[in-house]
């Protein structure tokens, strides 16, 4: 490209970028165009989140809602979501999976879960095969236009407990290997949803490889990282721009608190947001 044309091209490009970056008018409602340029996060208790993307799509994670003591009353009605474009489940435990099948059916949205868990759900007839696509760790898929999802390791376990309608008894079935999720939105904003996990060394790799803008990490302890481990993992390994603690306050054994997590984060430059269930958090 001749220098003058290259220069003109650069100016045009700069003008275009400047135009794109021009400050938007204040958001009026969640549906306004200004709000659409941001990501809205609503914590629904435990590891359940409703994420509204800059393009207006809705991603739901680990939906334990109807019997979750922290879920706002409005979201115990499963039609509260309006739409669901991507439904993610990290593993088979009840406090993550309880309402996954019901949401998949109600919104006719495929359930994205570890492939061996989905195989169990298919074998048991919990959902029809078309709502149980298979994927595994390392794979990146685009379950809705512009939304990329990658399953990554989680250091945990996974079974699926199913009440057999014929016997009325609970049965324990294989739940596949648990996962965390990298969720990349239309504008490149990356969220790491850790699922249930202990600290593991490859969190550094996740931080290096995916550079999450936002990390959602369990802090309750006993079954997962506690506040001290979670803060260490966030500061030393994951290094996101923002972190929201999850998976606490619902089980008497998992005693970790948000205050302990905030204290453990200390003077770190990483922004800590303590979510209030049902209250939207808007991020750029």
* Residue ranges in contact with Zn ion by CB under 5 A: 93, 196
**Quick one: 111 or 185, whose CB is closer to Zn ion?**
111
Interatomic CA distance for residues 31 and 33, integer angstroms: 7
- Provide, rounded to whole angstroms, the least separation between the CB of residue 96 and Zn ion: 6
- Provide, rounded to whole angstroms, the least separation between the CB of residue 99 and Zn ion: 15
The β-bridge relationship of strands 242-246 and 214-218 is: parallel
**Quick one: 85 or 229, whose CB is closer to Zn ion?**
229
CA distances (Å), origin 269, targets 11, 94, 234, 242, 276: 35, 35, 11, 9, 22
**Quick one: 93 or 153, whose CB is closer to Zn ion?**
93
- State the residue for tokens 């009840």: 94
**Quick one: 54 or 114, whose CB is closer to Zn ion?**
114
Interatomic CA distance for residues 114 and 177, integer angstroms: 6
- Provide, rounded to whole angstroms, the least separation between the CB of residue 159 and Zn ion: 9
- Provide, rounded to whole angstroms, the least separation between the CB of residue 216 and Zn ion: 14
Exposure b/e, 116-150, CB count within 10 A at least 16 = b: bbbbbbeeeebbeeebbebbebeeeeebbeebbbb
- Provide, rounded to whole angstroms, the least separation between the CB of residue 101 and Zn ion: 17
Interatomic CA distance for residues 13 and 248, integer angstroms: 47
**Quick one: 220 or 240, whose CB is closer to Zn ion?**
220
**Quick one: 215 or 254, whose CB is closer to Zn ion?**
254
- Provide, rounded to whole angstroms, the least separation between the CB of residue 93 and Zn ion: 4
Q: What is the DSSP string of 77-140?
A: SGGGGS--SEEE---S-HHHHTTHHHHHHHHT--EE--HHHHHHHHHHTSS-GGG-----TT-E
Exposure b/e, 237-266, CB count within 10 A at least 16 = b: bbbbbbbbbbbbbbeeebebbbebbbebbe
**Quick one: 97 or 150, whose CB is closer to Zn ion?**
97
- Provide, rounded to whole angstroms, the least separation between the CB of residue 90 and Zn ion: 8
């Amino acid at each position: 490209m001749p220098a003058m044309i290259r220069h003109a091209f650069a100016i045009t490009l700069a003008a275009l970028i400047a135009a794109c970056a021009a400050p938007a008018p204040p958001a009026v409602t969640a549906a306004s165009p200004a709000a659409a340029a941001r990501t809205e996060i609503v914590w629904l208790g435990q590891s359940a989140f409703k994420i509204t993307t800059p393009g207006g799509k809705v991603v739901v994670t680990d939906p334990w809602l109807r019997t979750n003591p922290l879920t706002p009353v409005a979201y115990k009605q499963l039609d509260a979501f309006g739409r669901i474009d991507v439904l993610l489940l990290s593993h088979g435990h009840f406090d993550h999976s309880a309402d996954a099948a019901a949401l998949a059916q109600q919104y006719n949205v495929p359930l994205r879960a570890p492939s061996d868990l989905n195989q169990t759900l298919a074998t048991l007839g919990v959902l029809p095969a078309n709502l149980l696509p298979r994927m595994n760790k390392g794979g990146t898929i685009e379950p809705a236009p512009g939304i990329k999802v990658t399953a990554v390791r989680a250091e945990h376990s996974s079974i699926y407990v199913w009440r057999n309608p014929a016997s009325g008894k609970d049965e324990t079935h294989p739940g596949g290997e648990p996962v965390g999720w990298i969720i990349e939105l239309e504008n490149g904003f990356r969220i790491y949803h850790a699922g249930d996990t202990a600290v593991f060394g490859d969190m550094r790799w996740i931080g290096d490889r995916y550079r999450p803008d936002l990390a959602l990490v369990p802090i309750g302890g006993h079954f997962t990282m506690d506040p001290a481990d979670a803060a260490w993992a966030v500061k030393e390994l994951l290094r996101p721009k923002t972190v929201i603690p999850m998976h606490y306050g619902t089980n008497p054994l998992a005693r970790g608190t948000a205050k302990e997590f905030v204290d453990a984060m200390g003077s770190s430059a990483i922004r800590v947001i303590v979510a209030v269930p049902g209250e939207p958090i808007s991020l750029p």
